[in-house]
Amino acid sequence: MTTPIHRRRTAAYVAAGLLVPGAALAYGLLPADAATAPAARPAAGHVVAVDPAVARPVAAARKNLDDPAKKEVAMQIVSAAENSSLDWRAQFPYIEDIDDGRGYTAGIIGFCSGTGDMLELVEAYTNTKPSNVLAKYLPALRKVNGTDSHAGLDPNFPKDWRAAAKDPVFQAAQEAERDRVYFNPAVSRGKSDGVRALGQFAYYDAAVMHGPDGMAAIRSRALRKAKPPAQGGNETTWLNAFLDERVAEMKKEEAHSDTSRVDTAQRVFLRNGNLDLDTPLDFAVYGDHYHIG
């Protein structure tokens, strides 16, 4: 997996033992004029219990990146960086060699002929549908794995990839491999680190560009500078450390040296305190501006 450069592409809460009237009003627990009335203070030494039914929406409002709506946003942000378009579903037929040493880059997540994930995708597709148009390229994909060679793929592999991309079975295979290799492990790691949707997305985007092992290496280096929330660290401090290491990794390769997908996207969300990756989102990648409402 890799990234081309410049491709057109209430919560209710308790403070000092007091339930905030506005939050209670929102849940129908107080009359309409109560939001502006002064709050009654409990007697000294008394603790006001919070009804679990009131507190529950606070937790429910915080969703992980695997929530369907959040996942859709994640796919759009990655597509903006990978394909210069928020329409990630239009990328099933995409294929080209972007001269980054990884052979052909293709599909919704940039599966590469030189890194093994394209081979695994075509194998999975063939296991489900043996008579597909890409099955005949499996021997060649095995041979070119780990190289930038097109041996056995040219001249018809791109044409056949685009033909296969019209098949709903191949589209489903692309989504399944994306989730299995990149999305699900990144979200799981984020949950275990105690980071919210933005942090989970930062892990996922790093895995997309650098591979799961590359993401893990970035995280390991960040651990020398900060701790994730699950280890007692501050979430914002941790994510800044992770993104610092991500940028350092990107700059090691000319093909990844434009770090705007971090600088003018993920950093923007982080500076805004949008740890839950809530919409609307306004960001830029490679100088192009995007809005997700």
pLDDT tens figures, 166-197: 999 999 999 999 999 999 999 999 999 999 99
Q: Find the distance separating the first CA and the last CA of the chain, reported in whole Å.
A: 28
**Percentage of residues in the chain with pLDDT exceeding 70?**
79
CA–CA separation, 194 and 200 (whole Å): 9
Is 123 known to be catalytic? Answer: no
Q: Please pick, among 66, 97, 100, 245, the residue that the annotation labels catalytic.
A: 100
Is 100 known to be catalytic? Answer: yes
Residue 24, CA distances (Å) to 36, 53, 61 in order = 12, 11, 16
Q: Please pick, among 33, 67, 72, 82, the residue that the annotation labels catalytic.
A: 82
Answering whether pTM is above 0.95, one says no
Q: What is the pLDDT of residue 89?
A: 98
Between 184 and 51, name the one with better pLDDT: 184
Task: Choose the weakest-confidence range: 24-33, 141-150, 231-240.
Answer: 24-33
Q: What is the pLDDT of residue 141?
A: 98
Between 174 and 23, name the one with better pLDDT: 174
Residue 246, CA distances (Å) to 125, 211, 258 in order = 32, 12, 12
Is the pLDDT at 16 greater than 60? The verdict is: no
On average, the pLDDT of the chain sits at 85
| Average pLDDT, integer, range 148-165 | 98
Q: What is the pLDDT of residue 254?
A: 85
Is the pLDDT at 156 greater than 50? The verdict is: yes
Side-chain half-sphere exposure of 241, counting CA atoms within 13 A: 18
Q: What is the pLDDT of residue 255?
A: 79
Is the pLDDT at 49 greater than 70? The verdict is: no
Residue 270 backbone dihedrals phi, psi, to 5 degrees: -70, -45
Binned at pLDDT 50, 70 and 90, residue 36 comes out as very low
